[in-house]
């Protein structure tokens, strides 16, 4: 006899794991705790193995649960895409918190394309400080946050590493001693890594300009104030560093996405998360 995994049971499982407890998962799904517990037991019976460790402090996945989780998330994502592709229009409002460097890149265009495909859906992109983003996320005002792995306000659903590259203003020489550097103001998660790379390479450097915004950093590089470490998507053609061989290799940036647990099963949020993952 062929066994099938019901998507409703998989959604219950994913929600319980992401919420960290059956009671919070039930609240997120708008169900009672006994009803969710029954669905989880049905899924465990179908799989033939325990999927959750249960304790007074909450739930966590067993080894079998950890193995099932990525498949369950993929199945739910494919179901959402299938409904979309077969003509079901997406509606609702989804707010996305993005690192400013990502908000300025092609990610925003990807979200705009999604909004055009679904005119009854509203997408909003916010770039806030880590503290403000956490407040908005905890209050449920932001459904998705894509940021540096150390700054996401909830458990990461997935992570990805992306490179940094040197950008150079007109008239700036990579062999300058000391090297004029344009930096993001503290706190900045890659500022320290960039300066450490210069130190390890034995290069002398000086801070020529710093700003807490991407616009400020880009303006300084355009003005020829120094070199800066940027995501490749934000490097303008005139900023290409053709003699970067004298500069040290830059560290990767690790990004992560957090999704509010109350959004499990929301097709619009599913579609936005899929678009973000494809783009990064």
The answer to whether residue 189 scores a pLDDT higher than 90 is no
pTM over 0.75: no
pLDDT at position 156, please? 93
Q: What would the mean pLDDT of 202-219 be, rounded to a whole number? A: 93
pLDDT tens digit string along 152-167? 998 999 998 888 889 9
Cβ atoms of 75 and 270 within 8 Å: the answer is: no
Q: Into how many domains does the chain fold? A: 3
Domain that holds residue 128: 89-159+255-279
Residues 200 and 274 in one domain: no
- The model's confidence at residue 212, banded by pLDDT at 50, 70 and 90, is confident
Token readout for 56 is 């007074």
Residues 103 and 146 in one domain: yes
Report the CATH number at residue 38.
Answer: 1.10.10.10
Report the CATH number at residue 192.
Answer: 3.40.190.10
- Please say which residue of 84, 118, 133 terminates a domain: 84
Least confident residue range of 96-110, 116-130, 213-227 = 96-110
- On whether residue 118 sits in a domain, the answer given is yes
Tell me how far the alpha carbon of residue 271 is from its chain's centroid.
14
Residue with tokens 């999927």: 51
pLDDT tens digit string along 117-176? 778 888 888 888 888 999 999 999 999 999 989 889 989 999 988 888 899 988 998 889
What mean pLDDT value characterizes the chain?
86
pLDDT at position 242, please? 65
The answer to whether residue 106 scores a pLDDT higher than 80 is no
Residues 139 and 262 in one domain: yes
Least confident residue range of 85-94, 136-145, 207-216 = 85-94
pLDDT tens digit string along 32-89? 999 999 999 999 999 999 999 888 878 888 889 888 988 888 788 767 656 555 555 7
pLDDT at position 209, please? 95
pLDDT at position 253, please? 87
Name which residue leads in pLDDT, 109 or 175: 175
Q: State the Cα–Cα distance between residues 245 and 233, nearest whole angstrom.
A: 20
Residues 260 and 154 in one domain: yes
- The model's confidence at residue 211, banded by pLDDT at 50, 70 and 90, is very high
The answer to whether residue 280 scores a pLDDT higher than 80 is no
Q: What would the mean pLDDT of 194-208 be, rounded to a whole number? A: 93
Residues 242 and 260 in one domain: no
Residues 26 and 71 in one domain: yes
Token readout for 238 is 């005139």
- On whether residue 78 sits in a domain, the answer given is yes
The answer to whether residue 204 scores a pLDDT higher than 80 is yes
Strand order, beta sheet including 253-259:
121-126, 92-98, 144-148, 253-259, 156-162
- On whether residue 243 sits in a domain, the answer given is yes
Q: State the Cα–Cα distance between residues 126 and 132, nearest whole angstrom.
A: 10
Residues 33 and 61 in one domain: yes
Q: Is 159 helix (H, G, I), strand (E, B) or coil?
A: strand
The answer to whether residue 216 scores a pLDDT higher than 70 is yes
Residues 174 and 155 in one domain: no
């Amino acid at each position: 006899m062929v066994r099938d995994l019901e998507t409703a049971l998989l959604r219950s499982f994913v929600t319980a794991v992401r919420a960290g407890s059956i009671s919070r998962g039930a609240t997120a799904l708008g169900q009672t705790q006994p009803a969710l517990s029954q669905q989880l037991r049905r899924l465990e019976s179908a799989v033939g193995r325990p999927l959750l460790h249960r304790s007074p402090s909450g739930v966590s996945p067993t080894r079998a649960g950890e193995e099932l989780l990525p498949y369950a998330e993929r199945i739910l994502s494919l179901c959402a895409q299938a409904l979309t592709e077969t003509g079901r229009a997406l509606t609702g409002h989804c707010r996305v918190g993005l690192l400013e460097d990502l908000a300025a890149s092609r990610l925003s265009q990807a979200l705009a394309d999604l909004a055009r495909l679904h005119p009854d859906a509203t997408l909003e992109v916010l770039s806030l400080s880590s503290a403000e983003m956490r407040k908005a996320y905890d209050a449920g005002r932001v459904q998705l946050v894509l940021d540096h792995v150390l700054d996401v306000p909830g458990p990461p659903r997935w992570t990805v590493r992306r490179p940094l590259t040197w950008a150079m203003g007109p008239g700036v020489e990579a062999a300058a001693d000391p090297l004029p550097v344009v930096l993001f103001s503290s706190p900045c998660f890659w500022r320290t890594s960039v300066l450490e790379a210069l130190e390890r390479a034995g290069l002398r450097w000086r801070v020529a300009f710093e700003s807490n915004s991407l616009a400020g950093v880009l303006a300084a590089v355009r003005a020829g104030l120094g070199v800066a470490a940027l995501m490749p998507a934000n490097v303008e053609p005139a900023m290409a560093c053709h003699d970067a061989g004298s500069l040290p290799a830059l560290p990767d940036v690790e990004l992560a996405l957090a999704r509010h647990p109350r959004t499990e099963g929301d097709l619009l949020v599913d579609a936005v998360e899929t678009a973000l993952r494809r783009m990064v």
